[in-house]
Structure 1
Amino acid sequence: MKQPLLCLLLLIGGSTVFGQEKWDLQKCVTYAITNNISVRQADLQSRFSKLDVHRNELSKYPGATFQTSVGYQFGRSENPTTGVLEDRNFLSSGIQLQTNVSLFNWYSKKNTIESSRLTNQADVAQVKKVQDDVALNVAVGYLQALLAKEQVKIASIQVQQNIAQLELTRKRVNAGALPELNAAELEAQVALDSSSLITAQSQVELQLLQLKAILNLDAAAPFDIEAPPVEMIPIEPLAELQPDRVYQLAIVNLPQQKVNDLRLQANQEAVRAAHGSMYPTLSAYGGLASNYVNLQSTQKIVPVPSAPTAATVTVDGTTYPVYAPSSNFLYGVTPYGEQLRNNFGQNIGLALSIPIFNNGTLRTNWERSKLNVQQAQLNIESSNQTLKQDIYKAYNDAVASLQKFTANQKAVTSAEKAFTFSQKRYDLSLMSTYELLNSQNNLLRARTQLLLAQFDYVFKMKLLEFYKGQGLKL
């Protein structure tokens, strides 16, 4: 019986020792924040809103558009260079540069820019909020894994104590001082405790696997955590974590409250922007343009010597032939560059846009933006109420956990004394093996309950520290 149990203990005790890097809480949190999908999605949203800010800021400046075209006209078409309809087929080309700038729009653009800037700040704060949520989930998983490891230690000590007790009892049985029943009862208890140890070790693996999932770490990757003694975990005194004080600090420090405030301000700016869009807008515009066609036109007039015509004129009885001036006309397509220079035109002006009727779109947008402000205000009120309730609940839970922890400490002390007396009585053959095992199991349960209460108290205190804005540290 002894050799198989020792082999079992060595196998279980050494199964997670070799070849694994130990992660502390800070490393787990850093890895999770870097690789968690929710954090990355929130970061993408903040980058999207930053692009909106950049786009809206550029809308303050003049816009310019360059356009060029080329096409072939058939049948009766307008000559773009003369504006005359002609029954000829020709190739035409045009270029133009248009620009416009808003001069006054009742600060609609200014408020839109400010709204988008506040929205981006809210999205950046949202990233921090998601990071904090992930860090809190990691801390919970980390503490659960630590608790499972501590339970393995307790179960391992229990097995080792029972094996030692079994060896002593076996010697006394072999010497005839005790009946075989005592050894059989201890052997059964060792088997049960060994099964509990294997279950506890499996629970450690399960908790580590769940922690891997929170970290977004490959399930097949080697992974283990540092296991600092729970009593060495720093905890702020409960007197420094009064709920009223914690709540006031949480309102200022927690990212979620900043997100809510920034979204309210962004919606308020959106109301101003929507209201400004209902009023006239003054803008200036200007443009440059020119055209080209491949139609032939008179390119040059060449004068030639005058030639006599069929007509004559008689002066004083003398007949003279009539001469008429003559010229030759040269036709061709005017070069592209020359046509662009000849057809070059400019325009500049002011435009006033007055919204008169647009199916209620602008007013609906304004009313909707006002409702968004009310919704944001309700979100702040609801979030603050929930936060306050959570903090007071966490404080009450921490007080109850401390009281439970203190009570379990007394229970362990009493159980240890009872087991010590039972062990002495058993050694004097004044107590049965069943009674000894019952006393030992009571001690095991007391230690387990103490461990659970201690970890529960640590977590409740860490939650209060988190609300206070101190972060998470073990």
Structure 2
Amino acid sequence: MKKLIALLGCAILVQVQAQTTNEKWDLRKCIDYAVQNNISVRQADVQARISALLAHQSKLSQYPSLNMNSGTGVRFGRSIDPTTNQFSTSQFLYQNFGLNTSIQIYNGGAIKNNIKAAVFNAQAALAEVERTANDISLNVANFYLQVLASREQVKITQVQIAQSQTQLEITKKRVEAGVLPELNLAEIEAQLANDSSNFVTALTGYELNILNLKGLLSLDPAIGFELEFPPVESIPLESFGDLQPELVYQLALTSQPLQKANDFRIKAAQKSILAAKGQMYPTLSFGGNLATNFSNSFKKTTGFTFLGYSPVTGAEPKVTISNVDYYVQNPLYRFSQSSRGFGGLWEGWSNQISNNFGQNVGINLSIPIFNSGQAKTAYQRSKLDLRTVELQKTQADLKLKQDIYTAYNNATAALEKFNASKKTVASTQKAYDYALKRYEVGLLGSLDLITNQNNMLRAKVQQLANQYDYVFKMKVLEFYKGQGLKL
């Protein structure tokens, strides 16, 4: 038995030495680290960044657009030469440049209201980040208090082992002196073994709670981790008078992130209705563009031979002078051509680009008459979207009120359980003290002593659990009040 106790002591010593090399973490540090590194919080932050980008992009939509275009290629077969506007059947190289701009002057307020809706949605996304961070903070506080409670349980089992060890030594001496039978010694040894098992169970639970807290913090389980262990009595708690459920609810309506996010979503939906309504009004825009082009045939004329004039057929235009008809005859030529090299294809590029340069400005008016009911349907749907968000807010507010009243009742019940457990501990402690005195004078058997000792241990463990449960439930009420977690 002594070897087992020594082995357990060595295990505790190794654990403490491994932890003392690391910086201690208090509850505030755990919460701050979780908010910065928890995956759920980081995912919500990514969504908020996306909403912020969409809001920024919507603001840019009110500025003029400016675009440049250019194209270069080769045309085959019958097509229109862009520089001569004549049909051509020969291959030619073409290139064009364009620069155009446009700005909406009036669009029924659609752009302005879309911008406001996007900004409200971005603010709602930020509130969602805060809500996720608050949820993580509550979970961290719960896990942190569980670690503290399990650590106290380890201490209680250590005290129990020390008491059993003392009883074992006393009983062994009395057995050797012939005052007590050997059965008493065997019963105390069995109790010491049971206490040692309870210690191992408590220590395992403590280590498991540490691992759970690491997982919530997104920490590597292999990293050394030591917590700051403030006395549970030093954790500040507000009075029940300052945490009345109706008062807490009224404060929570304006402070809880989910309620703020719903308010922003309602405002965004209202602006979306105005934007959808603006799509049914005429749109007036101003625009202009600059353009030029170039083209050149793959073949070039190297010379020609005059062949005379076309024969008169009577179908040609004619000019009458002194009652004499003179037909207009077309000269006939034979042209000789040769293929251009790559450099020759670009001959006259600068002159054509300069000569073909053109500009235009204008005002465009677009009046929606019939577009398959798309604008009207979008407007009606936007009003239904607003109704959906309003119902979501109503449901969230009702749930918030129910949660606050439930938390208040839970905190009240936890306080009553804690007070009752303190009385139980006092009673079982007194019973154990009387039993120990009677055992020492031989008026009580070891089995009865062990029973009283176990009752006292269970009462202390239950009191500890009730105390931490009461502290956490009070922290939940403080959280709903909107003042954060007071540490």
Note the C-alpha offset of 1:399: 0.9
**AA paired with 1:110?**
K
TM-score, structure 2 normalization = 0.88
1:249-290 superposed Cα distances (whole Å, 9 cap, x missing partner) = 111111111111101111111111111112211111111111
Indicate the residue corresponding to 2:333 in structure 1.
none
How many pairs align? 441
Indicate the residue corresponding to 1:7 in structure 2.
6
- Name which of 329, 349, 354 aligns with 2:362: 349
1:23-67 superposed Cα distances (whole Å, 9 cap, x missing partner) = 111111111111111111111111111111111111111111111
- Name which of 211, 214, 217 aligns with 2:216: 214
Mind listing any 5+ residue stretches in structure 1 that lack a counterpart?
Answer: 299-330
Indicate the residue corresponding to 2:318 in structure 1.
none
Structure 2 matches for 1:219-230, cutoff 5 A? Answer: 219-230=221-232
Note the C-alpha offset of 1:297: 9.7
Note the C-alpha offset of 1:248: 1.1
Structure 2 matches for 1:56-455, cutoff 5 A? Answer: 56-295=58-297, 335-455=348-468
CA distance in 2, matches of 1:467, 1:238: 14
- Name which of 43, 46, 55 aligns with 1:44: 46
8 Å Cα contact 1:25/1:473 also seen in 2: no
**AA paired with 1:176?**
G
CA distance in 2, matches of 1:77, 1:159: 102
**AA paired with 1:24?**
D
**AA paired with 1:69?**
G
CA distance in 2, matches of 1:205, 1:90: 82
SS in 1 for 2:15: coil
CA distance in 2, matches of 1:180, 1:71: 109
1:53-84 superposed Cα distances (whole Å, 9 cap, x missing partner) = 11111111111111111122223221212212
Note the C-alpha offset of 1:359: 2.4
Would you say 1:16 and 2:30 are equivalent positions?
A: no
Indicate the residue corresponding to 1:307 in structure 2.
none
CA distance in 2, matches of 1:215, 1:334: 71
Note the C-alpha offset of 1:119: 0.5
CA RMSD, 1 decimal: 1.7
8 Å Cα contact 2:5/2:196 also seen in 1: no
CA distance in 2, matches of 1:448, 1:11: 24
Indicate the residue corresponding to 1:469 in structure 2.
482
TM-score, structure 1 normalization = 0.90
CA distance in 2, matches of 1:5, 1:238: 47
SS in 2 for 1:16: helix
SS in 1 for 2:18: coil
1:189-211 superposed Cα distances (whole Å, 9 cap, x missing partner) = 00011001101100011111111
Indicate the residue corresponding to 2:331 in structure 1.
none
CA distance in 2, matches of 1:293, 1:9: 93
SS in 1 for 2:74: strand
1:324-377 superposed Cα distances (whole Å, 9 cap, x missing partner) = xxxxxxx99862222122111111111111222322222222222111111111
Note the C-alpha offset of 1:95: 0.8
CA distance in 1, matches of 2:220, 2:486: 24
**AA paired with 2:460?**
R
CA distance in 1, matches of 2:41, 2:235: 28
Identity of aligned residues (%): 49
Indicate the residue corresponding to 1:35 in structure 2.
37
CA distance in 2, matches of 1:293, 1:254: 68
CA distance in 2, matches of 1:445, 1:75: 99
8 Å Cα contact 1:94/1:292 also seen in 2: yes
8 Å Cα contact 1:12/1:198 also seen in 2: no
CA distance in 1, matches of 2:179, 2:150: 40
The 1:407–1:172 alpha-carbon spacing in structure 2 relative to 1, beyond 3 Å, is same
8 Å Cα contact 2:168/2:185 also seen in 1: yes
Indicate the residue corresponding to 1:315 in structure 2.
none
**AA paired with 1:87?**
T
Indicate the residue corresponding to 2:332 in structure 1.
none
**AA paired with 1:128?**
E
1:98-146 superposed Cα distances (whole Å, 9 cap, x missing partner) = 1111010000000000000110011111111111111111111111111
CA distance in 1, matches of 2:110, 2:116: 10
SS in 1 for 2:222: coil
1:210-243 superposed Cα distances (whole Å, 9 cap, x missing partner) = 1111111112222232221111211111211111
